[in-house]
Amino acid sequence: MRLFEGTPFDRPLRCEICEKLEAECTCPPPEIVRTPPEEQTIVIAIEKRKRGKTVTVIRGLAANNDHAALLKQLKSTCGAGGSIQDGNLDIQGNHRETVRTLLKQQGYKLK
């Protein structure tokens, strides 16, 4: 449901490139611009969670990058579980050094 659907201000959505209705548009989707690792400064921290669980948290990743692929690589390298929460990557356990070496190899700047 659109914001003004059913009102006099209701206008069908149009493509920004060809000006056709979105349903009729055949333009390719816009290319996603990713920030290279060399331009990102990452902070690696250890946090204590509920019931004394230790988590390695990676902060400072650009929002337009593929966090899921990086998380998958980190989880398999560390041999631990993990998740993405609020744009941060969480790896279960204390894997600060392993994460640090892997991210340095990929070209990320670390604090």
Q: What is the pTM of this model?
A: 0.73
- In the numeric block, which tokens belong to residue 59? 């902060």
Percent of the chain with pLDDT strictly greater than 90? 58
Q: What average pLDDT is seen over the chain?
A: 89
pLDDT of residue 1: 64
Domains of the chain and CATH, by start: 37-110 (3.30.780.10)
- How do strand 88-92 and strand 54-59 relate by DSSP bridges? antiparallel
Mean pLDDT (whole number) for 60-87: 92
